Amino acid sequence: MQFNQVIADNQTKQRLKELVQKNRLSHALLFLGREGSGALPLAIAFAQYVLCEKVNAKPDKSAISLFGEQQIEQNTALSEDSCGQCSSCLKANRLVHPDLHFSYPALKRDSNHKQVLSTDYITEWRQFIQQYPYNNVADWLDFLKENSKLKIDSPANKQGNITVHECDDISHKLSLKSFESDYKILIMWMPEFLGKEGNKLLKLIEEPPPDTLFIFVAEDEHAILPTILSRTQLIKIPSLSTAEIEEALIKNYQLATEKAAEIAAVSEGNFREALQLLQAPQDDLQAQVREWLNIILKNNVASQLKWLDEINKLGREKQKQFLKYFIHLLEQGIRAGYLDEDYLDIIPENERDFAFRINKICGTEAQEAIVEELNNAIYYIERNAHAKMLFHALSIRFFHIIKDNSLILVH
């Protein structure tokens, strides 16, 4: 994977290149970015950049150290990206380079299988990264359950883990001499899943073998062991801007500008969310929102129960998508309420009609109250709330907010 293939912040890409070019690279890096920021593909692209034979084709290798132990002048001949054609790049791109190692949350094969190692699932990992590089850890564990011969025979086996056996395996692999490259690289995805057994890696991180690079890729720095956190150089990966997501959707997925802008606005800097929305047509989501509001306003109990059964069948991620799109539509309604007619073109045509209709049935304060309730609902869904009960409660609240113009229920 090359930098130019990664949807991530361009300034961060440039900073990573300069760490290599100016020999300012730490032995342990922490790529910290929210879900959908592109932190994992960026880490893989960076590893390929370090391993690339063209990038490392320096005049006098003996005089140069990647980690800056010897001060040298910047090598301006270094490429701005990995070549993508040398043997190292081809192997790194397929995630089969012998000096590029991965560690990630994994599951027990069954209750009798005590040792849990990332390498047990390397085939599934490669498939997952090739297909879904921007997905989250829940997606990975679901992928693992579907594509591996796993027996999920206990609740404990439904949660991923990076075990003490994995830490021992990491120590063993990095103690060996590199096979092909001058450098050995370990990418650990989601170090938040490391328990106290992660302390076994401290000495290795602090005093690694020569030319060994640790790259930790995380979403929540507060969930990482402080002893590991203090030994890493922090690289913050900012969330993508709406414009960056829009551009990526147009360039890579040949989306119409209006459609790309719509998805980018709803995804709120999360490229994973944008790709999920790409698979769920907005017309269908808007039809669902309209149907729900009509049922609420008519107070049709039979229709409401049928709708609740249907929404309950959707997975957690699709329920969140639906709620986020509803929030987006309400925001468009609020925006339309303040815009002059000459400026309404900034709202896509297929959302303008909804904006006008929602403004007729409830004012700005009521819409803001509904948005607050929807945001709370997303929070609860992420924490495994019972979907049918949640949407039933929302229906009751929305009825009173809209029909009775009552905000007392939400304040």
C-alpha pair distances (Å), 19 with each of 44, 70, 101, 238 = 15, 14, 21, 18
Query: Which residue bears the tokens 């590089």?
Result: 133
pLDDT tens-place string over residues 61-89? 444 455 554 443 444 445 789 998 999 99
Give 3-state DSSP helix, strand, coil % of the chain, rounded to 5.
60, 10, 35
Integer Cα distance of 246 and 263 in angstroms: 8
What was the pLDDT predicted at 189? 96
Q: Tell me the β-bridge partners of 29.
A: 215, 233
Query: CA 334 → CA 52, 61, 94, 330, distances in Å?
Result: 51, 61, 47, 6
pLDDT digits (tens, 9 = 90+) for 249-269: 999 988 888 788 878 888 888
Among the ranges given (45-54, 96-105, 181-190, 311-320), the one the predictor scored with the smallest mean pLDDT: 311-320
Domain 280-403, second-level architecture: Up-down Bundle (1.20)
Rounded Cα–Cα distance for residues 375 and 372 (Å): 5
pLDDT for residue 256:
83
- Mean pLDDT for the chain? 84
Residue 108 binned pLDDT confidence (cut-offs 50, 70, 90): confident
pLDDT of residue 320: 87
What whole-number distance in Å separates Cα of residue 34 and Cα of residue 28? 20
Q: What are phi and psi of 195, to 5 degrees?
A: -85, -160
Work out the angle at residue 340's Cα, subtended by the Cα atoms of residues 292 and 364, and round it to the nearest 5 degrees: 40
According to DSSP, the β-strands at 184-189 and 100-103 are parallel
Position 408 scores a pLDDT of: 41
Instruction: Write out pLDDT tens, residues 122-173.
Output: 999 999 999 999 999 988 988 888 877 665 544 445 578 888 999 999 999 9
Predicted confidence (pLDDT) at residue 406 exceeds the cutoff of 70: no
With beta carbons less than 8 A apart as the criterion, state whether 309 and 388 touch: yes
Fold topology of 3-237: Rossmann fold (3.40.50)
Of 29-33, 140-144, 359-363, highest mean pLDDT: 29-33
pLDDT value at residue 63: 47
pLDDT of residue 61: 46
The CA-based angle 25-203-63, given to 5 degrees, is 35
**Residue 283 pLDDT class (50, 70, 90 cuts):** low
User: Is the alpha carbon torsion for 272, 273, 276, 278 positive or negative?
Assistant: negative
Structure tokens at 310: 């249907």
More confident residue, 37 or 59: 37
Report which listed range, 11-20, 345-354, 402-411, is most confident. Answer: 11-20
pLDDT digits (tens, 9 = 90+) for 168-191: 999 999 988 888 888 899 999 999
Largest CA distance in the chain: 78
How is the chain split into domains, by residue range?
A: 3-237, 280-403
pTM, rounded to two decimals: 0.77
Tens of pLDDT, residue by residue over 302-331, are 888 999 998 988 888 888 888 988 998 898
Burial of 172 (0-12, 13-18, 19+ CB in 10 A): exposed
pLDDT tens-digit readout, 196-248: 888 888 989 988 888 899 999 999 999 998 989 999 999 999 999 989 999 99
